[in-house]
Amino acid sequence: MKTTAAGSLMMTMPVLPSFSVDFAETRFGVADASYMMRRYRNIESALYPPFTDAMEMINHCADLGFGGMQVGVGGWDPKFAKKIRKRKEELDVFLEAQIRLPQEDEDISRFEEEVKNAKETGIEVFRTACLSGRRYETFDSMEAFQSFKEASIKSMQRAEPIVRKHQVKLAVENHKDWRADEFIQILTDLNSKWIGVTLDTGNNVSLLENPMEVVEKLAPYAFSVHLKDMAVEEYEDGFLMSEVNLGEGYLDIAGMIATIKKQNPDIRFNLEMITRDPLKIPCLTEKYWATFDQISAKDLGRYLHHIKEIKSEAPLPILSDKPTDEQLRLEVENNRISMNYAKQHLGFR
């Protein structure tokens, strides 16, 4: 079942920067989180060795058929950046950066150095996130969440003069931290044309929001996209949620792409297909509600009824019961399947 309910757009928003190109971007990219195991877990494997740097990931993804990548730029120096630019041009791929926000004033110089080195490769978009975890798991009280919110805003305020100086776009992901209206208010208050959104098409399901409504609200602010499909099923404390291969879930992917491209025809789409066990969304537990005061019992009831209507007919895929090399093989295969689907059905090349 596809969800298509429309949400109203906020009317007040910062003027976004204009980056003119001759044609709409049709290359299909991939986020580095799509290689969570290869990139971050340092799993030993002779068949699927970990990526040791951005160059290895770029080569692998290009060989697989992707036309672009989001890559971590931490630790780059000018010499490495030149190598990356040369390889990028040889492969005719686009690159977007993944970067950490400056958490303290002392961290601003690190942030600026990474921006400068990455920009030398032609990178214009820098994806980041405020929260590495999940709101409903990380915080036990509204006070703790509000402290995180204040710190996040300060981090974005530290970053803004740097991205404005270098004229690059900072794309903050809706990363299971902000509900759409909260996020829009933050962006409106920041009022910078250099700070926008990495629009993740599935994350806010975990925050009990209709994914199409989230896309409609955040699309005017989007600088980049994490494209994913989702499947859900019920469990005793709420529901389970999984990224699934494009076309195998319940999201209206084609409708989302059209909505986003209407706002920015040249925006780049990056697959984020995280191969892992289903995530638990324990919305029937007390802890889940520690940081929410804007969702009514009526809204919760409607959402859980909706979950019942769209739940997956097949059990959600489990990864942890498989041998290591099989897990790593599935990570590659899922990315390949979703990439091919995007090229065959969604207008990418």
The Cα–Cα gap between 135 and 150 comes to 14
Query: What pLDDT shows up at residue 24?
Result: 79
Q: Locate tokens 């324990």: which residue?
A: 282
Q: Which residues lie across from 66 on neighbouring strands?
A: none
Phi, psi values for residue 12, rounded to 5°:
-100, 120
Domains recognised in the chain with CATH numbers: 28-230+246-277+319-345 (3.20.20.150)
Burial 131-150 (b: 16+ CB within 10 A, else e): beebbbebbeeeeebeebbe
pTM (two decimals): 0.92
Query: What pLDDT shows up at residue 40?
Result: 86
| Mean pLDDT calculated for residue range 20-47 | 85
Token digits of residue 220: 């005017």
Query: What pLDDT shows up at residue 8?
Result: 33
Q: Is the pLDDT confidence value at 75 over 90?
A: yes
Q: Is the pLDDT confidence value at 21 over 50?
A: no
Query: What pLDDT shows up at residue 59?
Result: 98
- In Å, what is the CA distance from 257 to each residue of 4, 228, 229, 303, 342? 13, 11, 12, 24, 11
